[in-house]
Structure 1
Amino acid sequence: MTTESVTPQDPSPAGAPSGAPEGQRKKPATARSLARTRRRKSAARFWRQYRAHRAGLAGLAGLMLIAALALAAPLIVGSDVQSVTNASGKALESPSAAFPLGTDQLGRDLLGLLLWGSRVSLAVGLLAAALSVAIGTLVGILAGHFGGWFATVTMRVTDWFLVMPALVLAIVLATVMSPSIWTVVLAIGITSWPTTARLVRAQTLAVESRPYIERAQALGGGHGHIMARHVLPNVMPLVLAQTTLLISSAILTEATLAFLGLGDPNVVSWGGMLQEAREAGAVSSGHWWYLAPPGLAIAVVALAFTLCGRAIESVLNPKLGVAR
């Protein structure tokens, strides 16, 4: 029995010298590495186009500053600022060096309350917008993909939610359920998804009319594969832009519910501060420092999210022609 000598093959790719050091040999690109490269290039291209929108940059800078202040609230003012027993000022004291924004009717520092309230208002806005977009995206993709009687029934339910005032429905839900932050999130998220559902359904119909969807179906791709691997990635830019626009309206709705006394009374929020200022008679007594800070904070955050959303929408859909 003869033993043939086997010459080991050079593992280096074609075109690379066989005697090259191992560190200099190019590794063959995998599908995962190519996907990462495409995502990095896409993100870099998105950021270059986004930077051209001065209003979007201003909104992003404002949001980053507000988010940083909200996260650093325990370090800046401490957690005792919310306590009534630890209040160190007089009731409804005007702005001074000790209290830059004055005090409330309980003698608490309004600057500290404003910083702590930003945490609740931002969290509720983000969570409610995420819930609303998730429901709208799911309904829109399912209705656009399956069509037929399912789409008809789904769109009629969506139209009913569109006709009904979202704020009234949110007030009803917040009244029926126990008062808490999660109640406010559910009330906002459940009542504000129809617009996203209609937009995503229209985009789904456009995506599924393309030839590569037919090829995927011919190769055996099922409903889940088509929706998850082909439709969802194509509607995500629209979903991202819609999310940024919904956050501002969610924050305004949360402030409205808290102003009406339907929020969580155990936490401090900007809407809750306005409601307490109204109960303390700040409007009639001229205590402007009690009303102005939370009201301006709500307006600034809503404007910042709107500017970011418009900029993102313009980058992802240049046909809109949004002014830079």
Structure 2
Amino acid sequence: MTTETGKDDAGARTAGPRALARQRRRQSVVRFWKQYRTHRAGLVGLIALALFALLALTAPLTFGSDVAGVTGAPGQPMESPSAEFPLGTDRFGRDLLGLLVWGSRVSLLVGLLAAALSVAIGTLVGITAGHFKGAYATVLMRITDWFLVMPTLVLAIALATVMSRSLGTVVLAIGVTSWPTTARLVRAQTLAVESRPYIERAKALGGGHWHIMSRHVLPNVMPLVLAQTTLMISSSILAEATLAFLGLGDPTVVSWGGLLQDAREAGAVSSGNWWYLVPPGIAIAVVALAFTLCGRAVESVLNPRLGVGR
């Protein structure tokens, strides 16, 4: 009887290099998903993120594209929750439920882009510092240390203040100030990878710096980068909400932090209009928690030695 492993081996012998690589990637994805779904907290986080993503993608269909318009608002200012407006209205009479759903589009987009920029910078700095060593690595790591000791939020506020108020500015401010942790982790992993014997063999066979870093180091640090990305997204969403709450976000778009700023300016705290404050705050907390749960699950799957609880 031919086993499944035997079939895979036979297929591997007859397939070309590219087909073999695709087959191995598919098998890796299947193994990853089988291990990931054993983490109940990670599944809860993934389901929550899928729901938020679905709401964000379908916002134009469910609430229309004019929900943020101040003129012609459907309700009276500061109405309490009702059958017509489940989350009440804001100070302009706009439906807060529609604003909350539309705000998810901006908050998730900024979080993803800022985390991607931060991790990309950290990965580049970490790999090059771990590979080249010497004076180059010393200068890079001293710059990294300087960014580590400086408060990230303060640096982001400074950048957002001197630049124009736009989503690009928010992404840039968060991305270029939150990469040092990733750089430190990736550099440590790079040093561990480059101490292995096959790296010495690759160098002896004439492998250049780019070949070593792209073909040998980068694939080995990618699991760490992936886990760090999922964890960074939650931090980026919180940072975007903070900047928007401080009035440093894009005033032309709706975000969760912007809703909190509007609530503060409208005096929702002193007047007891809880429906203006609570929903955006809960949404920020739930999404940040969901990304953290997913990140911990991914980290546990890719590095079982961490022993992250399920």
Shorter chain as denominator, the TM-score bin is: over 0.9
Specify the code of the residue in structure 2 equivalent to 1:44: V
- Of the candidates 81, 89, 101, which is equivalent to residue 75 of structure 2? 89
Q: Which runs of 5+ in 1 are unaligned?
A: 1-24
2:284 is the alignment partner of 1:265: no
Could you say what secondary structure the match of 2:289 adopts? helix
Would you say the 8 A contact 1:116–1:269 is kept in 2? yes
2:70 is the alignment partner of 1:103: no
Would you say the 8 A contact 2:75–2:95 is kept in 1? yes
2:15 is the alignment partner of 1:32: no
Task: From the superposition, tell whether residues 27 and 86 of structure 1 become closer, same or farther in structure 2 (CA, over 3 Å).
Answer: farther
**Which deviations, in whole Å up to 9, do the C-alpha atoms of 1:220-252 show, x marking residues without a partner?**
111001101111011000000000000000000
- Of the candidates 29, 50, 60, which is equivalent to residue 64 of structure 1? 50
Deviation (angstroms), 1:41 = 1.0
- Of the candidates 27, 32, 36, which is equivalent to residue 50 of structure 1? 36
- Of the candidates 122, 133, 144, which is equivalent to residue 130 of structure 2? 144
Specify the code of the residue in structure 1 equivalent to 2:269: V
2:154 is the alignment partner of 1:168: yes
Written as runs of structure 1 = structure 2, the 5 A alignment for 1:115-134 is 115-134=101-120
Partner of 2:303: 317
Separation in 1 of the partners of 2:27 and 2:64?
Answer: 42
Q: Please say which structure displays the higher CA radius of gyration.
A: 1
Deviation (angstroms), 1:26 = 11
Q: What TM-score do you get using the length of structure 1 for normalisation?
A: 0.91
Specify the code of the residue in structure 2 equivalent to 1:202: A
Q: What is the aligned length? A: 300
Could you say what secondary structure the match of 1:81 adopts? coil
2:214 is the alignment partner of 1:228: yes
Over the aligned positions, Cα root-mean-square deviation in angstroms equals 1.2
Deviation (angstroms), 1:203 = 0.5
Specify the code of the residue in structure 2 equivalent to 1:281: G
Could you say what secondary structure the match of 1:80 adopts? coil
Aligned-pair identity in percent equals 80
Specify the code of the residue in structure 1 equivalent to 2:153: L
Specify the code of the residue in structure 2 equivalent to 1:307: L
Partner of 2:239: 253
Partner of 1:300: 286
Would you say the 8 A contact 1:170–1:191 is kept in 2? yes
**Higher fraction of helix:** 2
2:74 is the alignment partner of 1:114: no
Partner of 1:11: none
Would you say the 8 A contact 2:157–2:173 is kept in 1? yes
Separation in 1 of the partners of 2:266 and 2:20?
Answer: 61
Partner of 2:202: 216
Deviation (angstroms), 1:27 = 8.7
Partner of 1:190: 176
Separation in 2 of the partners of 1:83 and 1:257?
Answer: 22
Deviation (angstroms), 1:86 = 2.3
Specify the code of the residue in structure 2 equivalent to 1:262: L
Could you say what secondary structure the match of 1:191 adopts? coil
Would you say the 8 A contact 1:80–1:86 is kept in 2? no
Q: Which runs of 5+ in 2 are unaligned?
A: 1-10
Deviation (angstroms), 1:28 = 2.9
